[in-house]
Structure 1
Amino acid sequence: MRALVDGRFSWDSAGEVTGLGREGLVRCREELLAHHLLQPTSADDGPLLPVNPELAAARLAEPLEQTIRSYRTAVDNTRERLLQLMPAYLGRSVSGPVSGGLEIVTDPAEVQLMIDQYVSKCSRDLMTMQPGGKRDPATLQRSLPNDYAMAQRGVRVRMIYQHTTRTQLSMRSYVNAMAEAGAEVRTADQLAERMFIVDREVAFIPKRAQPDQPPGAVVVREPVLVSFLCALFDQFWITSQPFHAEGPGYQNVSDDLKRSLLELLAQGLKDEVVARRLGMSVRTCRRHIASLMQELGAESRFEAGVRAAQLGLLRRDGVEE
């Protein structure tokens, strides 16, 4: 800061401000030179002049950026060479032959890699449907820069989550940022399986070998099937509610959530199943159930379902389901 005031580096001024001795001042000067925040004049014995930090950062980062560019070029060249083998690969999948524009990938890591690659190249339209409750904050933070950039470059991004994500602070922060970039985010009480559709040309849907195992994926490229999945997404989109991150957690959806809870209870489903359908923990689900029973003055879940039906609480848009 003293060099900025004086317009040059001065041993006396620096010593007066910092209180350092000659050895300490030498270390400071060398540190400033190493970070390009001081530069010599054209004269060999001229003074050291302060440098704009933005220019210093550019000079300091240039070697690293050159290295990054060289690695990026190498990656692109490698990808281009390997993608030349795609016609042969599509004749087989990880789990066997492929037919009808379907590819089965069993390794979750490979699934995520494929999704990331397709999403990074998305140019027109991205639709995602992600059931479940709380999202991993680290994953949201990691994916935000690429998702934000994609929305800003003009891709129409539409995302559907479940109502229960509205109370998560990291999710609300993510949604707020994505909305600023032009993305549209909605929530619904219940969703089908996880789904990604890229440019209405390729879709990813889960494939589970066992209920408790991480899912692989079925990669769908057949146009008729992709069109069907787009129509399915649109149906969920129409009935879902806009997610406005600046509002209270369950704004505009509390009645929808209560009604869904009552409908599932009326079906006689167990708490674990109800919680999974609504994307919440079993403990939270039971708390909502207890609150509803108290609100309805019911002593049993069956009685709560009967009273809800009598009061017309299981109706949507005036039509009883």
Structure 2
Amino acid sequence: MPGALSSDAVIVYRRALADGRFDSKSAMDATGLDSEKVARCRDELVAHCLLQPDEIHDEWLVTVNPEIAAAKLAQPLEEAIRSYRNAVDDARERLLQLMPAYLGRTMSGTVSGGLEILTDPDEVQLMINQAAAKCRRDAMTMQPGGKRDPAALQQALPLDLGIVQRGVRFRMIYQHTTRTQLAMRSYVSAMVEGGAEIRTTDQLAERMFIFDRELAFIPKRSQPGQPLGAVVVREPVLVSFLCALFDQFWINSQPFDTEGPGYQNVSGDLKRSLLELLAQGLKDEVVARRLGMSVRTCRRHIASLMQDLGAESRFEAGVKATQLGLLSRDRSEG
């Protein structure tokens, strides 16, 4: 592939267009170059397929449409790319024939029954991205936690929009506390406009991704503090169970409204959850983690609730909340 055209060669090409063919003397007059440099420009244009021999007069060089020249120039590269792509597809097909054996093994790192354990976060992300790219019907994600990384949201947006633009039904559940973050509201607005369905709820169990109701990813964590990783679930009964779990959370969640105030229509949910968790005697740090908010924000909400209830202790706040029926779950409140 030749390099970029020199400015002199561009002038010579323009002159050839005006003359109807390449003429060395005319090119010298136009550029002020000597015959040797004009010859180099000629060779450069030939190398770029912008000059070619005339069909009638073999000794003449005539100009070529740049679009046609570009196609001629790119043809060998495109053929090479096709060849490499075919080689990659063939290699992938041959290797994927070993998947049943791989999934069926019962050695360290893999559980029998359609489960695969991944310990490398990069490998987890790669497999999720591949599953998302292949998804054709239905995608579901459940992502606990509060504030999201704005850079990560910006990076994920084109990929996530690509899913819904293929006609996939994409449902996402976050926690109520994400509603106050501007970057999250911008992401949600773009996704909903693209066709995604996004809701929030007070508490979520764990992070989960499900694609086409056939493949699921859940965290590989039996106790807090364990290294990041994921369990890849392909077993149909287990995937069906996870879909049912997602649907239950979906029914009890509320649409993410990016037009109104952050906690519009969900403040009641947050208050009830806060009171319920306090009534269980959980520490502030645990309550904050469950609700996806910072400890400082959590304590501010607790102080406000105790003041509203006229309670001097958290136990008293729980008792009064129960007496007032504040812990009952009535979704009709909106």
Q: Same fold (TM over 0.5)?
A: yes
Aligned residue among 119, 132, 145 for 1:119 = 132
1:80-129: per-residue Cα shift (whole Å, max 9, x none)?
34323322322337834532211122222211111111111000000111
Q: Does 1:275 align with 2:288?
A: yes
| Contact kept? 2:104, 2:113, Cα under 8 Å | no
How many residues were matched structurally?
Answer: 278
Q: CA deviation at 1:73?
A: 5.9
Match of 1:106 among 82, 107, 119: 119
Contact 1:140/1:171 (8 A) holds in 2: yes
SS at match of 2:145: coil
Flag the structure with larger Rg.
2
The corresponding residue for 1:264 is 277
State the TM-score, normalized to the length of structure 1.
Answer: 0.77
Q: The residue matched to 1:252 in structure 2 has which SS?
A: coil
**Separation of aligned partners in 2, 1:100 and 1:112:** 22
Q: Is the CA contact 1:166–1:243 (under 8 Å) kept in the aligned structure 2? A: yes
- Pair 1:236 & 2:249 matched: yes
**CA shift in 2, pair 1:144/1:274, >3 Å:** same
C-alpha spacing 1:187/1:70, structure 2 compared with 1 (3 Å): farther
Q: In the alignment, which residue of structure 1 is the partner of 2:150? A: 137
**What SS does the corresponding residue of 1:120 show, helix, strand or coil?**
helix
Which residue type is aligned with residue 300 of structure 2? R
Gaps of 5+ in 2: 1-5, 31-65
CA change 1:239–1:191 in 2 (3 A) is same
Q: Which residue of 1 aligns with 2:165?
A: 152
SS in 2 for 1:171: helix
The corresponding residue for 1:12 is none
1:246 alignment partner, SS class:
coil
Q: State the identity %.
A: 76
Distance in 1, Cα, partners of 2:284 & 2:152: 28
Displacement of 1:238 after TM fit? Answer: 0.2
Amino acid at match of 1:277: R
Which residue matches 2:258?
245
Matched residue, 2:204: 191
Give the TM-score taking structure 2 as reference length. Answer: 0.74
1:208 aligns with 2:190: no
Q: Which residue of 2 aligns with 1:90?
A: 103
CA contact (8 A) 1:204 1:219 kept: yes
* Cα distance change, pair 318–189 in 1 and its aligned pair in 2 (3 A): closer
Greater mean deviation of Cα atoms: 75-84 or 145-154: 75-84
Local SS of the residue matching 2:117: strand
Mapped to 2, the partners of 1:187 and 1:68 lie a distance apart of 45
1:292 corresponds to: 305
- Cα deviations by residue, 1:31-58 (Å, 9 ceiling, x for unpaired): 9x79xxx9777135699xxxxxxx99xx
Q: Say which SS state the counterpart of residue 205 (structure 2) adopts.
A: coil
Give the secondary structure class of the aligned counterpart of 1:286: helix
Q: Is the 8 A contact 1:132 1:279 kept in 2?
A: yes
In 2: Cα distance, 1:39 partner to 1:297 partner = 86
Deviation of 1:212 after TM superposition, in Å, equals: 2.0
Identify which of 144, 167, 176 aligns with 1:163. Answer: 176
- In 1, the alpha carbon distance for the partners of 2:151 and 2:121 equals 18
Distance of 1:94 and 1:137 partners within structure 2? 40
Is the contact made by 2:188 and 2:258 (CA closer than 8 Å) also made in structure 1?
yes
- State the shift of 1:75 in Å: 5.0
Are 1:305 and 2:318 an aligned pair?
Answer: yes
What is the alpha-carbon distance in structure 1 between the residues aligned to residue 278 and residue 97 of structure 2?
A: 53
From the superposition, tell whether residues 78 and 263 of structure 1 become closer, same or farther in structure 2 (CA, over 3 Å).
Answer: same
Preserved contact between residue 93 and residue 105 of structure 1 (Cα < 8 Å): no
Q: 1:68 to 1:283 in 2, by over 3 A?
A: farther
Aligned-pair distance for 1:157? 0.2
Contact 1:161-1:187 within 8 A present in 2 as well: yes
CA root-mean-square deviation: 3.2
